[in-house]
Every structure is written in structure tokens, then in C-alpha cells.
């Protein structure tokens, strides 16, 4: 990590000009959806590759860093969600979400694969399923202590709790998470080729539907990452996947805000 980063609220048009940090250029086609992620926790867990391999489609290469595959639990809120050319819509443009992801590559493009995804907004669940072919699930989510509208250096505890309403569960009950986290210090960019960069600087998401694999191109500025103190009170969000995670992550990051553009899914041709 190199220096303190000031969060910049940029328009979609100006964001598209900031491409120097990317491993490949964003698509020439118009983007489909714009959104902003807020108060995001990245709680990272190293996992035996053999345990994750069975959860990832066989067409995708599971990414390994120093002998370990990684799984990340990411709670946060999503705001200013809007399709291209349309202003944010009431009832759809803000909601809280919870992502469980791992890291894969197809066609030499490293990306993200969602192991599960929960959202508190039922409309967002169906749009993710219909537009992006992602298996989102509806959940009851509460989040308090957001820092987006408070002074930059205010260290406030953020409380996040989620309980899945519909979707896979385990014998212990619905998948859920109860966690508190407090950002610390200044925001910095990850050093190239570091583990921090491996886990955060990804510019596409992969999904699989009806025996086909799809790539969803993403564009954003480098993540502005802070240290963070984390307290997990309960964590059953990975239980339906057959993964029991320790209560303490091996590595954590926090990001206050990140604007992101998404393109329509494109089928990945298997070589």
C-alpha cells in the first residue's frame, strides 16, 4: 500500500477514462448498470483448493495464491443503482447486500465467482437473476453506523446482520451473518501483485447458467482500502455450501465507497 486516497465521487463518463490501472480495457459496448458500494467489509479466509474446487464450475480455473484458494465474505450497502440513461429509481436504487465469493480465471481474465449472494431488496434479487444470470437470494438485512455521510476520518462501528428468507439453508437454519466492524487508519491502494491486490482488484465476474458460462465485465477505480477491526458474532452464511469457516478471518479490508459500472453478460466460449 502506498498513500492516503481521497474518495472521489465521479460520473460514469469520467470513470471510463480512468483505465491505466486495469489489466485490460473495458468493453467498447455501452455499460448496462451503474452502482455504488458503501461501507464494504472484505473478510478473507484461505481455503484448501480441493474444498472450493467442487463449488466452482469445472470450466473455470480456480485461482491460487501461495498455495491457497481464498473465499471472501463481503457485507455492505449498494446505492445509486441505475440502468444506463435512467436516473436512480425509488425502491430499487438502495439496498444492503451480502456476497460470498471466490476467485477464478477464464480466457486469461481473472475474475470473481459468487458462491452465494443475498440482497434485502426483492426487486434487486430478480433483476440480478434475470439480467445478470446470478443466483441472488432474498434476505432480511439490517445495517447501522454507515460512514458515508459522516466526516472522512470518523471511525464508527458498523453493525450488519443478515438472515436469508428464501434460498439454500442448512440443518442449523437459514444462512445468516452477524458482524460489527470499525475502519481504522487511512485508505490506501493495494500494491501490484500483492495478496491485497489479488483479492480486490478484479474486473469481471463469472456466472454459469444452463450449462453456459458468462462473463460480466466490471469497471471501477482501484479500491481504497483501510485496516479494520472485525467482530463476528455469528456466521452461518457458508453452511449451505458445506463450508464451516473460523470465526476470525485471516485478513480483512474495509472500503468506504466505490463506484462501479457493469456490462451485460457475455457468453464465454470454451476452448
Q: Is residue 3 part of a domain?
A: no
Q: Is residue 56 part of a domain?
A: yes
Q: Is residue 68 part of a domain?
A: yes
Q: Which domain holds residue 241?
A: 31-261
Rg of the chain in Å (alpha carbons): 17
Which of 69, 67, 51, 129 lies closest to 105 in space, CA to CA? 69
Q: Is residue 180 part of a domain?
A: yes
> How confident is the model at residue 11, as a pLDDT?
52
Q: Is residue 20 part of a domain?
A: no
Q: What distance in Å separates the CA atoms of residue 47 and residue 45, rounded to the nearest whole number? A: 6
pLDDT (tens digit per residue) in 243-255:
988 989 999 999 9
Q: Is residue 78 part of a domain?
A: yes
Is the per-residue pLDDT at 239 higher than 80? yes
Report whether 233 contacts 159 (CB < 8 A): no
pLDDT (tens digit per residue) in 192-233:
999 999 999 999 999 998 889 999 999 999 999 999 999 999
Confidence of residue 123 (pLDDT cuts 50, 70, 90): confident
Q: Is residue 162 part of a domain?
A: yes
> How confident is the model at residue 1, as a pLDDT?
40
Q: Is residue 214 part of a domain?
A: yes
**At 222, which CATH number?**
2.40.400.10
Looking at the structure of the chain, the number of domains it has is 1
Amino acid at each position: 500500500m502506498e498513500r492516503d486516497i481521497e474518495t472521489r465521487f465521479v460520473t460514469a463518463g469520467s470513470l471510463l477514462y480512468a483505465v491505466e490501472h486495469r489489466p485490460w480495457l473495458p468493453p467498447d459496448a455501452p455499460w448496462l448498470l451503474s452502482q455504488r458500494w458503501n461501507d464494504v467489509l472484505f473478510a478473507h479466509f484461505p481455503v484448501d483448493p480441493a474444498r472450493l474446487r467442487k463449488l466452482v464450475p469445472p470450466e473455470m480455473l480456480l485461482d491460487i495464491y501461495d498455495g491457497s484458494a481464498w473465499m471472501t465474505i463481503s457485507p455492505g450497502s449498494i446505492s445509486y443503482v441505475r440502468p444506463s440513461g435512467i436516473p436512480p429509481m425509488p425502491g430499487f436504487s438502495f439496498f444492503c447486500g451480502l456476497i460470498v465469493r471466490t476467485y477464478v480465471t477464464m480466457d486469461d481474465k481473472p475474475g470473481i465467482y459468487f458462491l452465494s449472494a443475498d440482497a434485502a431488496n426483492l426487486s434487486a434479487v430478480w433483476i440480478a437473476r434475470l439480467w445478470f444470470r446470478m443466483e441472488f437470494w432474498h434476505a432480511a438485512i439490517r445495517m447501522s453506523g454507515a460512514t458515508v455521510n459522516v466526516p472522512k476520518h470518523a471511525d464508527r462501528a458498523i453493525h450488519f446482520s443478515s438472515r436469508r428468507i428464501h434460498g439454500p439453508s442448512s440443518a442449523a437454519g437459514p444462512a445468516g451473518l452477524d458482524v460489527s466492524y470499525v475502519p481504522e487508519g487511512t485508505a490506501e491502494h493495494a500494491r501490484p501483485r500483492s495478496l491485497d491486490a489479488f483479492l480486490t482488484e478484479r474486473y469481471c465476474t463469472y456466472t454459469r447458467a444452463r450449462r453456459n458460462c458468462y462473463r460480466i465485465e466490471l469497471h471501477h477505480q482501484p479500491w481504497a482500502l483501510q485496516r479494520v477491526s472485525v467482530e463476528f458474532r455469528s456466521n452461518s452464511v457458508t453452511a449451505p455450501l458445506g463450508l464451516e469457516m473460523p470465526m476470525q478471518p485471516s485478513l480483512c479490508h474495509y472500503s468506504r465507497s466505490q463506484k462501479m459500472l457493469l456490462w451485460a453478460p457475455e457468453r464465454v466460449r470454451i476452448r
